[in-house]
Structure 1
Amino acid sequence: MTSNEIRFDCRHRGDGGALVIVPRIDGAPLTELIDGFEIAAGMQPAGDAYGGLIPQFFRFGPMQDHFLGRSTNAMGPKTPVLGCECGEWGCWPLMARITATADLVIWDSFEQPHRKTRDYVAFGPFQFDRHQYDDALRALNAAIGSDET
């Protein structure tokens, strides 16, 4: 299985608003990937439902831990990788199981907890090289850190 590439986009909501983090897989924002999947699967509602995570709105703990599946306030065994487009992650989150080993980080078992009947088996899994993943997390941490000064 070939590795996917991950980056974490950081941008501000609106004019100087809160910092929003959107994972980008193989160059495509995860928000677009999941919208396309849900629309193609005929799910309702679908499209423009998801947004990035906003660390200052919810204390996930360090983003490096969060995106390794060790979030301080995650719900159960899965980790929110996207939130609602409204900015409140719990409103409409995309959850994933994040498994980290010495060589790989895998995102799979995606779930929309407010729609338990939805089937995400065909979405993912995404498999990342651990070194590339750690580099992306370091870049994310630097972007967040420079934002707080």
Structure 2
Amino acid sequence: MESNNWQAGRAIVLGCTCGVIECWIIQVRITLNESSVEWADFGQFNPDWQYNLGPFKFDRKQYVSELYRHS
């Protein structure tokens, strides 16, 4: 796993309610494939916190549909 800083190519999927982006975030690497979307490599800027999550795979058409529905 590469460095867990918030600039390491991951999307922020959960943040602290205080609104400060660097406060407490959960990041994930999102990989798009022809028919699926995968969330993997969960982390944050604090390397002492490890997350044993995923990978999670989603149907790409349904995933994109949900993104548009909630935008």
TM-score, normalised with respect to structure 2: 0.80
Distance 1:118 1:89 in 2: 17
Q: Which of 2, 8, 23 is residue 91 of structure 1 equivalent to?
A: 23
1:117 alignment partner in structure 2: 48
- The gaps in structure 2 that reach 5 residues or longer are 1-5
Structure 1 residue 112 displacement after superposition: 2.0
Structure 1 residue 99 displacement after superposition: 0.5
Q: Which of 52, 72, 78 is residue 10 of structure 2 equivalent to?
A: 78
Structure 1 residue 76 displacement after superposition: 2.5
Equivalent position amino acid for 2:42 in 1: F
- The gaps in structure 1 that reach 5 residues or longer are 1-73, 142-149
- Identity within the alignment, %: 38
Larger Rg: 1
Task: Give the paired residue count.
Answer: 66
Deviations 1:55-89 (A, max 9, x none): xxxxxxxxxxxxxxxxxxx7221111111121222
Which has the bigger relative contact order, CA under 8 A and spacing at least 6? Answer: 2
2:61 alignment partner in structure 1: 131
1:34 alignment partner in structure 2: none
CA contact (8 A) 1:82 1:89 kept: no
Equivalent position amino acid for 1:130 in 2: R
Structure with higher helix content:
1
Structure 1 residue 90 displacement after superposition: 2.1
Structure 1 residue 135 displacement after superposition: 0.6
